[in-house]
Every structure is written in C-alpha cells, then in structure tokens.
Amino acid sequence: MIYLIGGPPKCGKTTLSKKLSKKLGIPWISADTLQTIAKEYTNKKDISKKFPWSTIRKIKKSNDIAFGEYTSKEIVKLYTTQAKVTYGAIDMVSICEITDGNDYIIEGYQVEPQLVSALYKKYGAENFKAVFLIKKDISKFVEDLRKSTTPNDWIIEKTKYEETYGKIAKMISEYGSYFEAEATKYEFKVFNMDEDFDKKLAEIENYLGK
C-alpha cells in the first residue's frame, strides 16, 4: 500500500507521516527530497521556470521580503507550478514500491489530487490510500505560530516582522482552498487541521490504517 499525504506547508503532513510510519512500521519520504533530486537532473536554464518559488526563495531568503513582494495567489501558483515537476518522481517511487510489494508513505505539497487520481488510474486504486490536510483559519494559524516550539521552523527563523505571519497564514489558507476544491473534485478525503490537531491526527491514522 502506498500512502499519499498532500496539502499546503505547515498543516501536519510530516507529523502525520512520522506517526503513521511508526505505527505501521513502514518507511516514509518527503516529496521535498524527491523535488531536490528532480531539480538536480533539470537543465540549469530551465530551473527558474520549473522551480519558480524555490528560485525566488534562494534570492529572497527573508519571509518578510518574499511575502511582501508576492501576493498569496501568486505564491500558491508558484507552488503548484513546481509541484507538477515532481509528479514523475512520485510516480517512480510509487510503482517501484508497488512492484516490490512494499508499503510506503509519500508526503508533501507536491502530492496533489490531480496526481493522485492519475496514479489510481495508472496502477490501481487498491494500491493507494490518500488524504489531504489543510488549514483555513488565518487567526488561529498566527496564534499557533506564536506558541510554536518547533526547531528550525522556516517561518519563525526567517521572519522578523509580525505582519508577515498574517501574510503567510493567508497564503496557507488560500492554498488550503485550492487543495480542498481539487480533492473534492476527485473525491478524496480532506481533513481540516485548524482545531483539535492531535485528535485529528489520531482520526487520520485510524482512517489510513484500516
């Protein structure tokens, strides 16, 4: 079984993957790793086009600058553009593990409903279980950020001004709406992680572990 976990950044995908991996005793991989590999095999002249948000972030390391110069909608579009470049790598890992008879977890914003639907059709729905995690409450997101004790948090480490938290939260919310609409279109399960985070994680674990 290949477990596919998608959704915007900071919605609990990695936390869920680690818990599910431990519970089921199977490995997991972040699609960010697959994206990095895909990027290494991309012609240098195409990198800025295929990985636009990563390219921008390499130049504008501060969240205050990056989220100040681009709107939420623009950033979501940049994310979705480069997500599609990783489709092939996710496909390859999926079929390799299916062929070898292994269970595996793949998580990341690159795991989009459109891709999952294509994998279901290509390799059989019986080989997959998929969920999408989102957050929509901007105020709650900012409030949780202020309480965060997560080490190496990319938001806290690279943000100086409080107002930037709101801009990031707005992007996460709009990205969540994108995932919600796409998942509904392809009839996949969506979990809103705004409230009762730990309880929701347990619920998703049970849903996927059936």
Please answer whether residues 164 and 37 qualify as being in contact, where contact means their C-beta atoms are separated by less than 8 angstroms.
no
- Proportion of the chain above pLDDT 90, given as a percent: 83
Q: What does the pLDDT average to over 156-173?
A: 92
pLDDT bracket for residue 124 (50, 70, 90): very high
In this predicted structure, what is the pLDDT of residue 60?
A: 83
- Is 190's pLDDT higher than 70? yes
Residue bearing the bigger pLDDT, 66 or 153: 66
Q: Looking at this protein, which amino acid is placed at residue 7?
A: G
- Is 112's pLDDT higher than 80? yes
Mean pLDDT of the chain: 93
Query: CA distances (Å), 128 to each of 65, 79, 118, in order?
Result: 40, 24, 11
Whole-model pTM?
0.94
Total domain count, the chain: 1
pLDDT bracket for residue 145 (50, 70, 90): confident
- Is 151's pLDDT higher than 70? no
Please answer whether residues 106 and 31 qualify as being in contact, where contact means their C-beta atoms are separated by less than 8 angstroms.
yes
Specify the range with the lowest mean pLDDT, choosing from 58-62, 80-84, 131-135.
58-62
- Is 152's pLDDT higher than 90? no
- Is 92's pLDDT higher than 90? yes
Main-chain dihedrals φ then ψ at residue 103, nearest 5 degrees: -90, 145
Measured distance CA(155)–CA(203) in Å, rounded: 27
Domain region containing 132? 2-209
In this predicted structure, what is the pLDDT of residue 149?
A: 66
Q: Give the burial class of 118: count Cβ atoms within 10 A of its Cβ; 0-12 exposed, 13-18 middle, 19 or more buried.
A: middle
Token pair listed for 121: 């059709």
Identify the CA nearest to 19 among candidates 133, 162, 98: 133
CATH of the domain at 148: 3.40.50.300
pLDDT of 13-44, one tens digit each?
999 999 999 999 999 999 999 999 999 999 99
- Is 146's pLDDT higher than 90? no
Q: What does the pLDDT average to over 125-146?
A: 93
Measured distance CA(19)–CA(29) in Å, rounded: 13
SS3 44: helix
